[in-house]
Amino acid sequence: MPEGPSVRKFHHLVSSFVGQQVVKTGGSSKKLHPDGFQALWLQDAQVHGKKLFLRFDPDEEMGRPGNNHPVLESPCRGAQGEGAADQKQASWPHGPKISDGAFHSAELVVLQGGDGPVCLRGDTPAGGAERWLQVRFGLFGSVWVNEFSRAKKANKRGDWKDPVPRLILHFGGGGFLVFYNCQMSWSSSPVVTPTCDILSEKFHRGQALEALGQAQPVCYTLLDQRHFSGLGNIIKNEALYKAGIHPLALGSLLSPSRLEALVDHVVEFSTDWLQGKLEGKQKHTQIYQKEHCPAGHQVMKKALGPPSGFQRLTWWCPHCQPQLSSEGPEQSQLSEGVKDSLHGTLPFGDRDA
């Protein structure tokens, strides 16, 4: 799924529509019917890690200053839309019907979400509570502004088929948003813990270091969203390489300075990646999906992860990221289980991704 920097950019794109009313809808979503967004007002947008939260209200007045709702820091300014701004295109040419029917005050709309049915009336949200749409993106999830994603290559059958939008929202200001490959559900409030969000100003280094110090491979801990929200496989691989740490090194046996350096590289790479996205620059990696590291050494790769958890492909350089020896302050002998997980590991070119 998109990592923290990508979702932060999505948040930046969506934020420009805050304060506008939905006037037309479309999309393929069956869990949350697009018609249910008709005439609602987008009142707020927040981001946490890999999740985007959007607040919709039936009444414009509910978004006026003075209402109590949590606020997260805004992303950097100056982004260009992902698939930005072909404002002449106002409808999806190949797909679900666009609805522009009225949302009357007496009409009851039932939306199925993660918290069960959510009822929204035209005059007030259910129980007067603010309603937040939680968006979780899939592997190829994205948000487009004022245009639609197009096929970049033919599928296995040779067809050039454009991606199908999950949700399309046209706004009174004339623009529209398109959401692809995502799961959406309603909740009463955004679930945020900024102290573990790697791109938040409130990110707590002490808590991150404590988590990394556990007696388990650091590559497992880095992908734990409870401690490093927004951190994904690309950031994991790049930060470990920059810190010169083997992905299966046990955090409890790494020196405090090494762990601090790893956290520094996580934040630095993530911040630079976000800034590059906002400036429209291409991301450049040193180890992720590479056959050789910058020093010219052959890269190794293997799917690594907790025995009962998700396995993610990991790239590392055995020369620049050596396994720790039993000498020195970082005395480390990998557990038998971790050693077994490396059994059969081959250089990059010898295994399929």
Instruction: Just list the catalytic residues.
Output: 2-3, 50, 312
CB atoms near residue 12 (< 10 Å):
24
Cβ(246)–Cβ(230) under 8 Å?
Answer: no
Cα dihedral 256, 258, 261, 266 in deg (nearest 10): -100
Given CA atoms 99, 104, 110, 114 in this order, what sign does their dihedral have?
positive
CA distance 319 to 328: 18
Strand boundaries in the chain, DSSP class E: 22-26, 41-48, 51-57, 108-113, 116-121, 131-145, 165-171, 176-187, 300-304, 312-316, 346-347
